[in-house]
Homo-oligomer: A and B are copies of this chain.
Amino acid sequence: MPRVELARSTGLSFPAISAITSKLMAEDLLCEAVTETATVWPDDTDEEDTDGLNGRRRGRPAVLLTLNPEFGRVIAVSLRMNLIETLIADFSGSALAQSRLELTTRGLDAAALCDLVIAQIDAMIDATATPRDRLLGIGIALQGIVDSDTGRHLWSPALSITDVDLATPVRQAFGVEVVMANDAVAVALALAAAEPALAQGLTATIMVGHGVGMGVVVDGEARDGAGAGSEIGHVKLAPNGPQCRCGQRGCIEAHLADYALYRDARTFLDLPPAVSQQPSEAQMALLRARARAGDPRLEQLFRQAGHALADAVATTISVLRPHHIILAGPGLQAFDMMRSAYEERLERAVLPWLLKSTAIHVRPSESATIVDGMVRRTLRVVDRNHMETTE
């Protein structure tokens, strides 16, 4: 945040940083933070003189620079099974307002969907009294297949329509940049931002929840274009496996996603029916509770899910050879029940030399992670465009 730190991290010289930051401050994009009395310093020196003055050092103290939160705002939308989540954030990424709209998404046609998304965005703008010219960008995270080149939404389990262009109408409605991404990419970004260790090298985030998706992040940044999102959930484990929502059989998702577990459990257990085959969070919690209570059939179901998860990880390691794999999403709340089956299968499904060179992290993230990550992605794109235009 202080200029010295910027100089160190960018490798640029000190005068260059000075020039750039003063230009950005003239644009009101950056501003100097109020000098706090208890400034925390990075403890990168091995000196013994750690005096009692709360980490203060001699010399002129660094002036902290922050993004001016008032420079503008971005809106992130997460569109998934029976849920449209919307969030508006200021330029520093802090949330100002959010909304959740539950509805049967599979009942929508393309026009209705666009109208709905636009209405949600409008509502956010109104709720926070955001001037139109202060809206800098809109990010839409989608559950399903996004064409990385065109941004079109090719297919989603949440929708009965295919090949939807959501970006163009929204861009026309608000006249700002619209960023489309797979929701797993958004989660991957949020997790990489939260843990700096995961923002080093190639990180693949497998998100297990309503579906099974994957996002790829390189050095903390989403990969542009092809290769950013992945449909690991629709890799086939067996030619004649269980039915998947995608229409094919034997997909990893059909063994591992919440809808698959709930559907399979209902064949031998009395459980309340799910709306559009999509169990709610409460229903999934119930399922886990019953399994933990010791139902051997449910235990077997979660063991099979563990196998499927191991196969997803094994395939990802073999094909992508990432430095890190993050297992994320609400589905991981049942990881304790999958663990032994997962580990046993993983051992046999990946070459040991590959397994050794990949670190696997389990982070059962919440649903808010999607819009959080999407805000980051959108801000990043807005930033980049701004640089290019004012350069």
B318 touches A232 (CB 8 A): yes
Q: How many residues of A contact B (CB 8 A)?
A: 43
For the complex, give the distance between the alpha carbons of A163 and B351 in Å: 13
Q: Let me know if A321 and B353 touch, CB within 8 A.
A: no
Contacts A225-B201, A225-B202, A345-B239; A318 near B231 (Cβ below 8 A): yes
Q: A323–B234 contact, CB under 8 A? A: no
Q: Are B226 and A321 in contact (CB under 8 A)?
A: yes
Question: A314–B236 contact, CB under 8 A?
Answer: yes
> How many chain copies does the complex carry?
2
Chain B residues closer than 8 Å to A238, beta-carbon distance: 238
Q: Which residues of B contact A230 (CB under 8 A)?
A: 318-321
By the criterion CB–CB under 8 Å, are B236 and A162 in contact?
Answer: no
**Given A155-B353, A225-B202: A348 in contact with B318 (beta carbons within 8 A):** no
Chain B residues within an 8 Å CB radius of A79: none
Please name the residue on chain B nearest to A238 by beta carbon: B238
User: Quick one: closest B residue to A240, CB to CB?
Assistant: B348
Whether the pair B229, A318 counts as a contact (CB closer than 8 A) is: no
Q: Chain B residue with minimal CB distance to A204?
A: B319
CB-nearest residue of chain B to A216: B227
Chain B residues within an 8 Å CB radius of A4: none
Which residues between 286 and 318 of chain A lie within 8 Å of chain B, taking CB atoms?
311, 314-316, 318
Whether B319 contacts A315 by the Cβ 8 Å rule is: yes
A214 on the B face (CB < 8 A): yes
Instruction: Evaluate contact between B314 and A316: CB separation under 8 angstroms.
Output: no
23 cross-chain CB contacts under 8 A: A145-B354, A154-B357, A155-B351, A162-B353, A226-B323, A227-B321, A230-B318, A230-B321, A231-B319, A231-B321, A231-B351, A234-B318, A235-B318, A235-B319, A236-B348, A236-B349, A239-B348, A239-B349, A246-B351, A248-B349, A248-B351, A249-B348, A319-B320
The 4 residue pairs across chains A and B that have the minimum distance between CB atoms:
A202-B226, A154-B353, A231-B318, A319-B319
Q: Which residues of A come within 8 Å of B, CB atoms?
A: 145, 147-148, 154-155, 162-163, 201-202, 214, 225-227, 229-232, 234-236, 238-239, 246, 248-249, 311, 314-316, 318-323, 345, 348-351, 353-354, 357
- Known interface pairs A163-B353, A202-B227, A316-B319; 11 further A-B residue pairs with C-beta atoms within 8 A, sorted by A's residue number: A147-B357, A201-B225, A214-B319, A229-B321, A231-B319, A231-B321, A232-B319, A234-B350, A235-B315, A239-B348, A320-B320
